[in-house]
Amino acid sequence: VHHTLPLTKTTKSYLEWIKLPDFRFPGFSKIERNDAVVFNYPDGDTVSLKFQSNVSYYSLVNEYGRNRVWNDKRNFGDIVARPVDKRENYIKRCISLPGDTLEIIDQKVFINGKPSENPGIKQYHYFVRTDGTRINPKILEKLDVTEKIITGNSREYIFTLSDKAAEKLKGFANVKEVIKIIKPKGEWNPNIFPHDSAYKWNVDNFGPLIIPKAGVTIPINTKNISLYDRIIHAYELNDLEIKDDKIYINGKESDSYTFKMNYYWMMGDNRHNSADSRVWGFVPENHVVGKAVFVWLSLDQNKSLFNGKIRWNKLFRIIN
């Protein structure tokens, strides 16, 4: 209903010929580090209706090329633009505030050079090797294992686990090895922000990166523009052109830029299976909806409606 009519896959639930200026009521409190925050999906300004927000339009373009995505209606459907308030609502934890310096070292988050607090239950990918016998599904359910990958070897799995669950799993007789998977520093993942080989970052080793703050001026050049180009042209609505190794903003050659808005860094507690700021970068303040305080419904996307899809133990809970 937020952007698409029920029982349809592509029909808009809003009108575009009636538009009012953006207006935000003052908030009751400020966003703090580690708050659970609801915001409009930053990559959702352009959407493939075939995939909606399940797959980012920009990742599709990177993989298949813009020409195919726009012209192959059978596989991608129509390509549409959405206003900020009609983009998909996401909920993630605010890891870093405007002006902070963020760095992730071997999965540990550092803010301004100091280890960050770690509220909530973090989950990571673990390599699990057994003696060949099956792990009881009820045990996995008790350990809150909702995602698993079976490798080519029937003895080996990749589970999404909390550190506490991993320790419990080590205690079972048929489990021979449980190893946390950590992507090494310098192993570049092109799907990770800023999608530039000059920044060899991945989900476990990332940064350092300064989070933009309103009024702060930074130097820009062809080496660091990939960090800020989306802010300049998509969020703060400037014309941006790079020509002959020079940067032009609104037609003027520029070697610096002053941010108009504050930005935030959002990450999911499921650190190895979360579409978050490590994928699409900064969240502008005008995309923030508010703090999340209450869970009224929780669904397991890997189960059917009559086979445990509703997570009854997580309903009507206050969010930490």
What CATH number has the domain bearing residue 126? 3.30.70
Q: Which of 23-27, 116-120, 223-227 shows the lowest mean pLDDT across its residues?
A: 23-27
For residue 139, tell me if it sits in a domain.
yes
How many domains is the chain built from? Answer: 1
For residue 144, tell me if it sits in a domain.
yes
The residue among 23 and 265 whose pLDDT is bigger is 265
Residue 164 lies in domain: 113-181
Q: Helix/strand/coil (H, E, C) string of the chain? A: CCCECCCCCCCECCCCCCCCCCCCCCCCCCCCCCCEEEEECHHHHEEECCCECCCCHHHHHHHHCHHHHHHCHHHHCCEEECCHHHCCEEEEEEEECCCCEEEEECCEEEECCEECCCCCCCEEEEEEEECCCCCCHHHHHHCCCCCEEECCCCCEEEEEEEHHHHHHHHCCCCEEEEEECCCCCCCCCCCCCCCCCCCCCCCCCEEEEECCCCCCEEECCCCCHHHHHHHHHHHCCCCEEEECCEEEECCEECCEEECCCCEEEEECCECCCCCCHHHHCCEEHHHEEEECCEECCCECCCCCCCCCCECHHHCCEECC
For residue 156, tell me if it sits in a domain.
yes
Confidence at residue 305, expressed as pLDDT on a 0 to 100 scale: 67
For residue 96, tell me if it sits in a domain.
no
The residue among 58 and 318 whose pLDDT is bigger is 58
The residue among 316 and 54 whose pLDDT is bigger is 54
Q: What's the mean pLDDT in 164-171?
A: 94
Confidence category of residue 318, pLDDT binned at 50, 70, 90? confident
For residue 64, tell me if it sits in a domain.
no
Confidence category of residue 154, pLDDT binned at 50, 70, 90? confident
For residue 176, tell me if it sits in a domain.
yes
For residue 168, tell me if it sits in a domain.
yes
Confidence category of residue 236, pLDDT binned at 50, 70, 90? very high
Q: What's the mean pLDDT in 118-141?
A: 88
pLDDT at 2 over 90: no
Confidence at residue 308, expressed as pLDDT on a 0 to 100 scale: 66
Mean per-residue pLDDT over the chain, rounded:
88
